[in-house]
Amino acid sequence: MELSTGTILMENLVQYAFQQRLGDEFTFQQDNNLKHKAKSTLDLLTKKTANVLEWQSYSFDLNQLENLWQDLKKVCLSMIECSPRGKKKKRV
pLDDT at residue 49 is higher than 80: no
Do both 66 and 36 map to the same domain? no
- Asked if residue 14 and residue 47 are part of one domain, the reply reads yes
How many folded domains does the chain comprise? Answer: 2
Domain of residue 12: give its range: 1-58
Residues 48, 5 within the same domain: yes
The per-residue pLDDT for range 55-79, each reduced to its tens digit, is 666 666 666 777 888 888 888 888 8
Whether residues 1 and 29 share a domain: the answer is: yes
Q: How far is CA 24 from CA 27, 34, 49, 64, 86, in A?
A: 9, 25, 6, 24, 56
Compare 78 and 42 and report the one with higher pLDDT.
78
Same domain, 9 and 54: yes
